[in-house]
Structures are given as C-alpha cells and as structure tokens.
Structure 1
Amino acid sequence: MSRLQLKNVSKRWGSFVGVDNFDLDIADQEFLVLLGPSGCGKSTTMRMIAGLESVTEGEIWLGEKMVNKLDPKDRDISMVFQSYGLYPNLTVYENIRFPLRVRKVPKEQHREMVMKAIEMVELEEFMDRRPAELSGGQRQRVALGRAIVRKPTVFLMDEPLSNLDAKLRVSTRAQIKNLQSKLKVTTVYVTHDQIEAMTLAERVVVMNSGRIQQVGTPTDIYNDPANTFVASFIGSPAMNLVEGKLQDGLFKGPGIRVEGLPKHASGNVTLGFRAEDAEIVPSGGQIAAPMYSIELLGEASMITWRIGAGLVSVKTNKDYRAEIGDVVEARIPAEICHLFDTASGERIKT
C-alpha cells in the first residue's frame, strides 16, 4: 500500500514561507503532478516527501507510517532528478545496479533485477557504455532505470525532462507514462511545463506562492479553472482574460461586448474564454478590432488583437488570410465564457 498523505504541511525559513499548509491525499498507484512557476514551492514539497528537507509543520504519511523523522534511505522512495546524477566512471549496468549495492540486496539477485529494469527502459544495447557515450534522452532513461530497479513504494520525479530537446521530451514523456502504468507505483512528478502536466497526470496540483491553487483532473482544471492564476497558467495559449464591468448579463470591456451572461453577478469582473472556443466571423462579432498578429500553427491559425492593456487570441482555420491592421471580428458566445472576480481573482460560480 503506497498511499501518500500530506497533512497541513508547511516549510518556513525564518519569515519566508516556502510551502504553506499543503494538505493532500495521494491515492495508491496515482500519477500526480505538482505544477507551477519557479519558486512556487513544488520542488520543496517533493523534497520534504523525500526527506531532503525537514517539515516545519504538519505530517507526511506513507501508508500507515508517519515518515517525518525517517532518513531518506528509510522511506522506500526513489527520486529522479533533473540533472540525472549518474556516476561517470560506471557503465549503464553498474549505474542501475548501484542502489542494490547500497541497500545490500543479495548479489545473486542483482543480475535479474538490473536486466529487468534495463529492458523496461529499453537500454539493452547500451548497458556496457558509460554516461559520456550516451545522449541526453538515454541518460535520463538510465536515471529512470536506477529509480525502478529496487521497486520502491513511491517515485518522485523532479523536472526530469527539462534538459531534453523538444523531440526527446515527447518520446521520453510517453515512456514515463507507459512505465508508470506497467509498474503501478504511486508517482509524484514536478514540472513547470503545463503540457507535461496535462498529458501525464491523473490529477494536477497547481501551486503558486507556496499554496495550492487548485487540485483536479487535467480536464477539470482546463475547463473550470478556480481562479485567474490557474486560467492564465493552463493552456497553450493561456485563457484570454479581459477586465470590464458586468451589469444585467451584459459585459463591457475595452473593445469587447458580450450579452447573455448570468445576471446574479455584477460589477468589476474579468471575462475569460479559450482561443479555440471562439470563432472568426465576417460581421456581428463581440470583438471588432484591427488584427495585431496572425500566426500559422500548422493545424490552425492564431489571430491576435490588442484589447485594452493585453492581448486576446482566437484560433481559426489554417487557410485564413488577413493582413496586420485589418479589422477582424470574432464571435464569443456567452456559454463559452468564464467569469472571475477582478479583485480576488476567484471564479464566480454560474
């Protein structure tokens, strides 16, 4: 049983709060992603789980055991770092074998355990090479093999793909997802890349300034962001956010006017909508303004306007043609819109 619980966990250094009252129950075999910008507390949270940072307040439970006071080696947790952390003088085989030697696993078991790990990360033909002879993606697979060889109860992965190029990121991401489904081990994965989070996670924890902003499935977080921070952090492009006033179901902002919104809210609100949910129209749109830019994305084109102090984007078909400065209109149906309180940033329930 590898259920992981963090009960009101905080980490402080003097007056600085790195993690504030982190409370979460991570299910056995769940793939959970901690997502947020640099400095949001996600890596500190992971390091507290691993035992590399002490807990200022709260409790961390692994199964039926509180592990706050246990040394890292006694927590039965494997961690994969951004920097790989391989021994340059050891072969792939010996790097993956190393945790077994440290934990004094009987030598007669090593070969079978190491070879099974090597096969899982598809490194059979590289097992006699040293790290300097490997590509970045192969080194990351060695680090993964070393983490899985002793069958821990929890995997921790701290930005494992950030040193890889875009193509390798995609293939290694798929391999991590496939490995976790085969191993069925509780996994906590840290990243600032929302695409990684959306493609890998069963649940995502969005963090900012040491606090949890929202917890949910990738679909929940994408479709129903809890506040403007989550809305602006999730999605490529991020959700369009326009400040304005709402009265009797009519939203008015700079260069935008949307009718048919809920009438129970009023005053200063922020209107949000996704680029793919609106559409370019020849006339009668809720936006009609000079086009700021047009970008071909391959499968679509992205039209952008400057609305007030910010930019607003809408996706359209890849064959769309217009010149910068041309007046282009967009239809924004009320049913695709999200409303947020401008002062607090919190979502207004509709």
Structure 2
Amino acid sequence: MAEVQLRHIDKRWGDFIGVKDFDLTIPDKEFLVLLGPSGCGKTTTMRMIAGLEEATSGEILIDGKVVNDLEPKDRDVAMVFQSYALYPNMSVYENIRFPLKVRNIDPATHDEKVMRAAEMVELTNFLHRRPADLSGGQRQRVALARAIVREPNVFLMDEPLSNLDAKLRVSTRAQIKNLSHELQITTIYVTHDQIEAMTLADRVVVMSAGNVQQVGTPTEIYNYPANTFVASFIGSPAMNLMKGTIEGGVFTAENVTITGLDKRLSGNITLGFRAEDAVVTDGSEAASGINAKVFSIELLGDATMITVKVNDELVAIKADKEYVTDIGQPFSATISAGICHLFDAETGERLSQPESA
C-alpha cells in the first residue's frame, strides 16, 4: 500500500506563491500526471513530495504516515530526473546497482536485482558500457532502471522525456507505460507535454500559476474541460475558442452562427469546439457553423488542417486528407450544438451543457 496524500499544501517564497492549497489523494498504484506550463508549480509539488523542498504549510502523507519532517532518503521514493544524473565513470551495471550499495542491501541479491531491472528496460546488452557510449534514450532507460532496482513505494518522474528527440520520446513513453503496468507502483509524473499526460495517466492534474485547474481522467479533461485554460492546453491542436454573443440559443461572432444552444444563456460568451468535431460542407454554406475564407492549409498525412479567422483569432478545422482548396477560397463547416463547449466570457469557467438542437 503506497497511497500518497497531499493535504492543503502551500509553498511560498516571501510574497510569491509557488503552490496554493494543493489537496489530493493519490491511490495506491495510480499513475498521476502533473501537467502545466513552465512555472505552474508542478515540479515544486513533486519536489515537496520527494523532500527536496519544504512545504510552507499542509501535510504530505505516504502510506498513511506524515513525511514532512523526513529526509528524502527516508521517504522510500525513487526519483527519475530530466537530466538522467548518471555517474560517467561507472558502467551501466554499476549505475543501476549504486542505490543498492548506498542502502546497504545484501550484496548477494545485487546481481539478480540489477539484471531484472535491466531486462525490464531492455538494457541487458549495454551493461558494460559507460553513459558516454549511450544514446539519450538509453541513458534515460538507465535512470529508469536505477529507480526500479530500489523497489520503492513511489516513483517520481520529473519531465524524463524532455531531453529526447520526437522519435525517442514516443518509444520511451511506451516503455514507461509498459513499466507502469508491470510494476504496479504509485507513480507521480511531471510534464508540460499534454500528449504524454493523455497517453500515460490514470488521472491528470492540470495546473496554472500554482493552482489546480482540474483533476480527472484524460477522457474527462479532454471532453469536459473545467475552464478555457484547460480547454486551450489539452488537445493537439488545442480547442478552438471563439468570443461572441448568445441570445435565444444562437451564438454569433464574425463569420460564425451556431444554433440550438442553451436558451437560458444570454450576453457575451466564449464558445469552444474541437477541430475534429466540425464537419466540412461540400461547397454549400453552413446554416449553423463557420463561413469564412481559408487562411492557411496544412497537410498532416492522415488529414488536412484548414485554418480560418474569427474575430482575428485563428480557428482550426480538420478535413479529410483528400480535401483540396487554396488560401483565400470560401470555406464552410457545420458546427452542431452537441459539440460545443460554453464558457463564461469573463472568468473562463465552464457553463451549462448545450441543449439538444
């Protein structure tokens, strides 16, 4: 059992608030991702769990025990850093083995534990090499193996893929996903990459400016963002957000008219929809949707991304890969009420669900 509880955690440096009232229980074996832009407080939160930063107020519990006053080495957590932090003069084998030596684990068990960890991350053929002789992805796998060999209660991973190129990020992400399934150890993972969060997490905590914006499964956060910040941060491309007015169930903005929305709402509003949810028309104008000129075209391989302008903001819509047009040509797409997300124009908070058209 390795449940982690964060009870109203604050972190301040003078007047600056790094993390504000972080209150969450992370069940045993859950893979939790802390997601947000640089400076949002996600790494600070992880460092407080690890004991590398002291919480200004609140309690941190691991396995039911308050650990605020415990040294990092006494919290039974293993941390994987962005920078790998490998010993250059040691072989891969000795790098993986090092935590066992430091913790005075019976030397008779070292070889078995190291080989098991190396096998899990597919490094058995590289144990004799030094870190300088490895690729970035291999070095990160050494760091993972070094964490695995400790058999901790909790894994902490601080942006472990950010130094890798795009192809290596994909393969190493799959490695981490498989390890999580195999090891069944509570894992807290920090990233600014929403694709990593969506593909790895059981639950995601979206953070901004030290505050938790939303906690939920990847599906919940993608389908029901709590506010415009979450909507604009999750998704590739991010959710389209258009400012306009709503009256009698009809939303209007430049080049946009959408009908069938919540008739209880009136006044200024922000409407959002996903690029893949709009339907490109066959040349006729959309009765409920966007009618504008093409601003740009991007061929993605599996689709064509069409961008138009609404109120001087760029709005992206996915079309079939066979779709052909040119910049400046008329473009129309139907946006049904059922795919729309409605947000308060001032606060950005999510409003009621739209009524059926």
Q: Same fold (TM over 0.5)?
A: yes
Deviation at 1:253, TM superposition (A): 1.0
For structure 1, which segment, 302-311 or 188-197, has the greater mean C-alpha deviation from structure 2 after superposition?
302-311
Match of 2:285 in 1: 284
Match of 1:75 in 2: 75
CA offsets 1:19-72 (integer angstroms, 9 cap, x no match): 000011101000000000000000000000000000001000001200000000
Deviation at 1:346, TM superposition (A): 0.1
Return the letter of the residue paired with 1:320. Y
Deviation at 1:279, TM superposition (A): 1.3
CA offsets 1:70-117 (integer angstroms, 9 cap, x no match): 000000000000000000000000000000111111111111111111
Deviation at 1:210, TM superposition (A): 0.3
Match of 1:268 in 2: 268
> In the alignment, which of 308, 324, 329 is matched to residue 326 of structure 1?
329
Match of 1:211 in 2: 211
Q: Percentage identity across aligned positions?
A: 65
Return the letter of the residue paired with 1:106. D
Return the letter of the residue paired with 1:303. I
Match of 1:149 in 2: 149
Deviation at 1:309, TM superposition (A): 2.4
Cα distance in 2 for residues equivalent to 1:298 and 1:279: 18
Cα distance in 2 for residues equivalent to 1:261 and 1:250: 6
Cα distance in 2 for residues equivalent to 1:64 and 1:236: 38
Deviation at 1:288, TM superposition (A): 1.1
Secondary structure in 1 matching 2:294: strand
For structure 1, which segment, 13-22 or 281-290, has the greater mean C-alpha deviation from structure 2 after superposition?
281-290
Match of 1:58 in 2: 58
Q: Which runs of 5+ in 2 are unaligned?
A: none
Q: TM-score, normalised by structure 2?
A: 0.97
Cα distance in 2 for residues equivalent to 1:155 and 1:271: 39
Return the letter of the residue paired with 1:180. S
Cα distance in 2 for residues equivalent to 1:177 and 1:335: 33
Q: Which runs of 5+ in 1 are unaligned?
A: none
Cα distance in 1 for residues equivalent to 2:144 and 2:84: 9
Secondary structure in 1 matching 2:34: strand
Cα distance in 2 for residues equivalent to 1:316 and 1:93: 51
Match of 1:313 in 2: 316
CA offsets 1:168-217 (integer angstroms, 9 cap, x no match): 10000000000011110000000000000000001000000001000000
Secondary structure in 2 matching 1:10: strand
Match of 2:123 in 1: 123
- Please tell me whether residue 27 in structure 1 is matched to residue 30 in structure 2: no
Secondary structure in 1 matching 2:100: helix
Return the letter of the residue paired with 1:76. D
Match of 1:94 in 2: 94
For structure 1, which segment, 193-202 or 247-256, has the greater mean C-alpha deviation from structure 2 after superposition?
247-256
Secondary structure in 1 matching 2:95: helix
Secondary structure in 1 matching 2:32: strand
Aligned residues between the structures: 350
> In the alignment, which of 289, 292, 296 is matched to residue 293 of structure 1?
296
CA offsets 1:244-299 (integer angstroms, 9 cap, x no match): 11111011112111111011111110000000000111223121111000111110
Give the 4+ runs in structure 1 shifted more than 6 A: none
C-alpha root-mean-square deviation of aligned residues, in Å? 0.6
CA offsets 1:112-168 (integer angstroms, 9 cap, x no match): 111111111110110000000000000000000000101000000000000101111
Deviation at 1:349, TM superposition (A): 1.9
Match of 1:343 in 2: 346
Cα distance in 2 for residues equivalent to 1:235 and 1:75: 35
Return the letter of the residue paired with 1:318. K
For structure 1, which segment, 260-269 or 32-41, has the greater mean C-alpha deviation from structure 2 after superposition?
260-269
- Please tell me whether residue 253 in structure 1 is matched to residue 256 in structure 2: no
Cα distance in 1 for residues equivalent to 2:294 and 2:121: 48
